[in-house]
Structure 1
Amino acid sequence: MTTPPRHTRLTFHGPLSETRADALVQRLVRHAPTTVLDIGCGWGELLLRILAATPKATGTGIDINADDLARGRKAAAERGLAPRVRFLEESATGTPHGPADLVLCVGASQALGSQLPQALGELRRLVSDEGRVLLGEGFWQRPPTPAELPRMWPDAKATDHPDLATLVGLAVDAGFRPEWTETASLDEWEEFESAYLADTEVWLARHPGHPLAAETRERADRHRAAWLTYRGVLGLAYLTLVPVAAR
């Protein structure tokens, strides 16, 4: 049975351009990490690029999505990186896979705790004292209106995200200094969200009478309506964080 393809148009599972990804990799490998831990790695594209740029490093990616992990393992094998990376299907809660010289947590802080301060505390535990954390975290570019919130995601609340200043302040409170602060552009968001749905939209146009079409159409329409609502309201910050040394 023909089924909708999944995420074949996406390089990264988030609003991240090639230009920004290249700059992030260059910055993150400056301190020559030898161990890299990716929380909620998906298929680990950024992890693999960092390993390719640091031949002495090894990596561990953790996620609970078996399909994404299989895609990551396939990509690692194709790039000759399989001996230096492992993709683990497991929860990140209380993970023992640390401390690492570089910890990636992009759009996945919920895997470390239901509240952002708790997740930031876990990131501090998981990074070595001389290491770095790349945190990709949502923030409100402006406060959402009461009319917008119900159209974003189930049970969306104004307290689901902080503003950018509060987000950076929480990182500082957790024992980090922000080496670099940047945010995804509208172009990056639009490319990501369009690519997220593109395969599904084409499949729906070609298979309107398929047994799975009604369910797939409802899911796609709901996602599109949500992102067109949070477009320009929800941002994503990329924070390169340096752990503060113990006194």
Structure 2
Amino acid sequence: MTTPPRHTRLSFHGPLSEARADQLVTRLAGNTPTTVLDIGCGWGELMLRILTATPKATGTGIDLNAEDLARGRQAAEARGLADRVRFLEESATGTPHGPADLVLCVGASQALGDQLPQALAELRRLVSDHGRVLLGEGFWQRTPTPAELSRMWPDAAVTDHPGLATLVDLTVEAGFRPEWTETASLDEWEEFESGYLADTEVWLARHPDHPLAEETRQRADRHRAAWLTYRGILGLAYLTLVPVAAR
């Protein structure tokens, strides 16, 4: 049975442009990490690019999505990185795969705890004392109205995300200093969200009477309505964090 292809238009599972990815890789590889840990890695594209830029490093990616992990393994094999990276299908809760010189947690802090302070404490545990954390975390660019929240994800609430200033303050309270603070642009968001749905939209146009079409159409329409609501309201910060040395 023909089903919609999944995420073939996306290099990264998030609003991340090629230009920003190149800058992140250069900055993070400049610290010459020897171990990289990717929490909620998906197919691990950013991790693989960092491993390419740091030939002595090894990587571990953790995720629960077997299909994404398989894509990551295939990419690693194609790039000659298969002997330097592991893609593990397991929970990140209480993970023993640390400390690492570089910890990536992009759009995946929920894998480390229900509340952001708990997740940040886990990131501090998982990074080596002279390492770095790249945290990709949502924040409100402005406070959404109740009507806007009702059109986002199920049970969306103002408390789901902090503002940017509060987010950075929370990282400091958790034992980090922010080496670099940057945020996804509207162009990056639009490229990601359009790419996220593009395969599905084309499939629906070509298979309107498919047995899976109605369910797929409803899911796509809900997602599009949500992102067009949080467009310009929900931001994503990319924070490069340095752990504070113990006194």
TM-score (norm 2): 1.00
**Matched residues in 1 for 2:115 and 2:3: separation?**
36
Residue identity over aligned pairs, in percent, reads 87
1:133 aligned residue: 133
Which residue in 2 is equivalent to 1:158?
158
- Paired residue type of 2:225: A
For residue 17 of structure 2, what is the amino acid of its counterpart?
Answer: S
Match of 2:88 in 1: 88
Q: Which residue of 1 aligns with 2:77?
A: 77
1:31 CA displacement: 1.2
| 1:208-247 paired onto structure 2 within 5 Å | 208-247=208-247
Aligned residues: 247
Query: Which consecutive residues of structure 2, in runs of 5 or more, have no partner in the other structure?
Result: none
Provide the C-alpha distance between the structure 1 equivalents of 2:113 and 2:197, rounded to a whole number of angstroms: 28
Deviation, 1:30, is 1.1
Aligned-residue RMSD, C-alpha: 0.2
Query: Residues 79-135 of structure 1, C-alpha deviation per residue, up to 9 Å, x if partnerless?
Result: 000000000000000000000000000000000000000000000000000000000
Structure 2 partner of 1:25: 25
Alignment-derived partner of residue 147 in structure 1: 147
What displacement does 1:203 show? 0.2
Measure how far apart 1:8 and its partner are: 0.3
- The normalised TM-score by structure 1 is 1.00
Q: Cα distance, 1:209 vs. partner?
A: 0.2
In the aligned structure 2, how far is the partner of 1:32 from the partner of 1:208? 51
What residue in structure 2 maps to residue 14 of structure 1? Answer: 14
Task: Give distance in 2, aligned partners of 1:41 and 1:200.
Answer: 22
Report the equivalent of 2:37.
37
Distance 1:153 1:86 in 2: 32
Question: What is the alpha-carbon distance in structure 1 between the residues aligned to residue 192 and residue 31 of structure 2?
Answer: 30
Instruction: For 2:107, give the aligned amino acid.
Output: G
Letter in structure 2 aligned against 1:167: L
CA distance in 2, matches of 1:77, 1:160: 38
Give the equivalent residue in structure 1 for 2:206: 206
**Aligned positions of 1:115-126 closer than 5 A:** 115-126=115-126
Letter in 1 for 2:229: T
Paired position in structure 2 for 1:114 = 114
The runs of at least 4 consecutive aligned structure 1 residues that moved more than 4 Å come to none
Name the CA distance, whole Å, in 1 between partners of 2:130 and 2:168: 20
